[in-house]
């Protein structure tokens, strides 16, 4: 019997990939219920985005396969870089300073036990 996998993507998250990876490393390979509890008490901005992706995966799994969240496990979760927004501001001595607003994508795979 092959394992059933649910894939979820969240694109253009307004936070750098480096900061999101710190949060994602906390929940990688964990049970979905345990991961949501960890994210509930994680004091990082990225925790709300990762929580949103996991909840979307739970909804997809229940809609597609009729499973509950107790039987789901995070088999793979990755954070990639999205296109960076280039902004700027005026600086001293008539110069112009570039501001890079970094964004990221999250790819999640949930495995049904």
Q: In this prediction, what percent of the chain has a pLDDT beyond 90? A: 96
Residue 27 clears pLDDT 80, i.e. is over it: yes
For 43-70, the pLDDT digits (tens) are 999 999 999 999 999 999 999 999 999 9
pLDDT band at 2; cut points 50, 70, 90: confident
Angle, helices 32-40/17-27, rounded to nearest 10 degrees: 130
| Domains of the chain with CATH codes | 5-112 (3.90.470.10)
Q: CA-CA distance, 37 to 55, in Å (whole number)?
A: 12
- pLDDT at 113 (0 to 100): 86
What is the model's pTM? Answer: 0.92
Going 41 to 42 to 47 to 50, the CA torsion angle's sign is negative
Mean pLDDT of 64-93: 96
């Amino acid at each position: 019997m092959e394992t059933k996998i649910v894939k979820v993507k969240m694109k253009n998250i307004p936070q750098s990939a480096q900061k999101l990876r710190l949060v994602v490393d906390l929940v990688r390979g964990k049970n979905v219920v345990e991961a949501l509890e960890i994210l509930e008490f994680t004091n990082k901005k990225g925790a709300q985005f990762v929580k949103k992706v996991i909840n979307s995966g739970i909804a997809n799994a229940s809609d597609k396969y009729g499973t509950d969240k107790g039987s789901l496990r995070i088999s793979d979760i990755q954070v990639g870089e999205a296109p960076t927004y280039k902004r700027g501001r005026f600086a001293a001595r008539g110069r112009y300073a570039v501001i890079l607003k970094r964004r990221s994508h999250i790819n999640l795979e949930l495995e049904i036990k």
